[in-house]
Chains A and B, each alone.
Chain A
Amino acid sequence: MKLNVNGQDHDVEAEPDTPLLYILRDDLGLHGAKFGCGLGQCGACTVMVDGKAVFSCLTPLASLEGRRVRTVEGLGTPEQPGALPLAFMEEQAAQCGYCIAGMIMRAQALLERTPHPSEAQIRDAMALNLCRCGTHMRILAAIRRAAASWTQASR
């Protein structure tokens, strides 16, 4: 099956019930999204599908025909990071870093739809992603920072 990830088509050979997360990590070598719980409870695996944040551990390959997947690897490069990865670095929002790719992708989906969210809208959107180190306050600060400088180009 053809799978579009970060604007590029890939030929994927896997069982149709395989979670997107496994395809990304095992077949495409994109290790940003992490396996946390496998139950849609922690958000470490969050990526974007058609502009919305989803748990890739609960997104079967069979549901992705003709849809566009975006991962943290699609938000710029280490030399030229996107607005959110940059803001996360500037706020030093990562401690162990395991949740961060998921956090960034859920925030990206939020800012693409609501470029200047209220504090309540940020907290509401991010409630589905957990950080066990407890850097939530810095994560929120990073999202506010990215929102402050968000432009059409930040997408």
Chain B
Amino acid sequence: MTPRRFLIGAASVLAVLFAAGLTLAWHPAIAPEPAPVRASFQRSQIERGAELAAIGDCAVCHTRPGGPAYAGGRAIPTPFGRVYSTNITPDEATGIGAWSEPAFRRAMRDGIGRDGRHLYPVLPYPHFTRATDDDIAALYAFAMSRTAVHEAKPSNLLGFPFNQRLLLAGWNLLFLRPGPWQPDPAQDAEWNRGAYLVEGVGHCGACHTPHNALGAERGEDRFAGGAAEGWYAPPLQAANPAPLPWTAAELAAYLRTGYSPQHGAAAGPMTPVTAELARVPEADIVAMATYIASLLPHQTEASLKPQPENGDANATALFAGACGSCHALDAPMTRNGAPPLTANTGLHERTPVSFIQVILHGIPWQEGRAAPYMPGFADTLTDAQIAELATYVRRRFGGQPAAITPDDVARVRSGGGT
């Protein structure tokens, strides 16, 4: 082959590859349509959509703090920069009012917006793609029957190359397996129902599964423990560190109330999740709990006896003065049935991030809901004091010998995790 012919050949191969790539990456816009009127949906369909939206916690990400529901604008921190959630109310200019049902379905299944642009997988479409057509239609009916809010979201703060949406075509090729959930015939209907909700709309793995360098869930480490907004999301499989085993019934109660008498209270990003799940029919929650419980370990009960004091008088005093009025063995809260610290899942996690977070920020009040509360100590205690206290509490009540340093606390305080 002459050099010239080689060049022509190579160029044509490249051109064909480039064209194929573009074809793969390019998606047509779907023509805008006037927003459908509420009366065009069945009431039952809207109601089902509301339940699915609660299972998917859509409101948690798609509402900015103090802002109108589903109007977006909430900053979502990612390793690649800050992404703002979109307005999913039926406003035609700033929301999804102009989206037809096929456009909405394409977004859920393939991560492509109505205008043909790629959506960032912060929207967990690799999970939503598992939903059935009927459920996607119900979610569409629910979204389209919300009050339209005219509110544009701030621009994402993503550096090059992450601000190039075309690159997501490659990401999808690598990590997106589109299509509805396939039931496991070896399992019963309830388990399959739960698996469908957890793996699909519920997208539990988006936080509880570790992510790779490109931000995709690591399939081989499914539910092995991940991260969420500076908190650690514990494993939902054999590695779960809870000293007492979770039963399906207890998980179901925890998911609906944010509290388990055997394991403690939901905190951090899990609190709003449980607030949403409180509005979901019991049958769906029990199914999800059945599926998750089947993944969790069923070990025999561990001892709930605290480790002996190790003579750190300062840490002992900090614990007695700052924590003891609720968490001492004879404190009113403990006597009223709250689980002892030795039963708390968070203290047994090898990663101390969530425990440091809960000392810093506590568990905030939830308006209108009887739910666990804990004051935060970010302004009361210094990083060094929190490090000393956290080391003491984890060693004594969680059997975790690793020392927490003031730097660990400073990193969590600044939102960086450890």
On whether the beta carbons of A60 and B66 are closer than 8 Å, the reply is no
With CB as the reference atom, state the residue of chain A lying closest to B313: A16
Task: Return chain A residues, CB-CB under 8 Å to B322.
Answer: 58-60, 63
A54 to B314, CA, bound (A): 20
Task: Return chain B residues, CB-CB under 8 Å to A15.
Answer: 317
Report B270-315 residues with CB < 8 Å from chain A CB: 313-314
Q: Given A17-B324, A58-B325, A58-B380, verify A63-B375 contact (CB < 8 Å).
A: no
On whether the beta carbons of A59 and B375 are closer than 8 Å, the reply is no
A138 to B374, CA, bound (A): 27
Q: Given A16-B314, A63-B385, verify A52-B325 contact (CB < 8 Å).
A: no
Task: Return chain B residues, CB-CB under 8 Å to A54.
Answer: 379-380
B79 within 8 A of partner (CB): no
Per-residue CB contact flags for chain A residues 47-81 toward chain B (1 = under 8 Å, else 0) read 00100111101111111000000000000000000
On whether the beta carbons of A55 and B325 are closer than 8 Å, the reply is no
Which of B316, B320, B380 gathers most chain A CB within 10 Å? B380
A36 within 8 A of partner (CB): no
Could you tell me the distance in whole angstroms from the C-beta of A133 to the nearest C-beta in chain B?
19
Task: Return chain A residues, CB-CB under 8 Å to B374.
Answer: 40
Task: Return chain A residues, CB-CB under 8 Å to B318.
Answer: 17, 60, 62-63
Majority secondary structure of chain B interface residues (helix, strand, loop or mixed): helix
Could you tell me the distance in whole angstroms from the C-beta of A1 to the nearest C-beta in chain B?
11
Majority secondary structure of chain A interface residues (helix, strand, loop or mixed): mixed
Task: Return chain A residues, CB-CB under 8 Å to B324.
Answer: 17
Q: Given A17-B324, A39-B325, verify A62-B379 contact (CB < 8 Å).
A: no
On whether the beta carbons of A60 and B317 are closer than 8 Å, the reply is yes
Could you tell me the distance in whole angstroms from the C-beta of B272 to the nearest C-beta in chain A?
16
Task: Return chain B residues, CB-CB under 8 Å to A38.
Answer: 325
Report A1-43 residues with CB < 8 Å from chain B CB: 15-19, 38-41
Q: Given A52-B379, A53-B379, A54-B379, verify A63-B325 contact (CB < 8 Å).
A: no
Which of B321, B325, B375, B377 gathers most chain A CB within 10 Å? B321
On whether the beta carbons of A17 and B317 are closer than 8 Å, the reply is yes
A120 to B324, CA, bound (A): 33
With CB as the reference atom, state the residue of chain B lying closest to A18: B321
Inter-chain pairs besides A39-B325, A39-B326, A61-B317, 4 sampled, C-beta below 8 Å:
A17-B316, A17-B320, A52-B380, A63-B318
In the assembled complex, 16 residue pairs joining A and B whose CB atoms fall closer than 8 Å, in A order, are: A15-B317, A16-B321, A17-B320, A39-B326, A40-B374, A52-B379, A54-B379, A59-B321, A59-B380, A60-B320, A60-B321, A61-B321, A63-B318, A63-B322, A63-B381, A127-B365
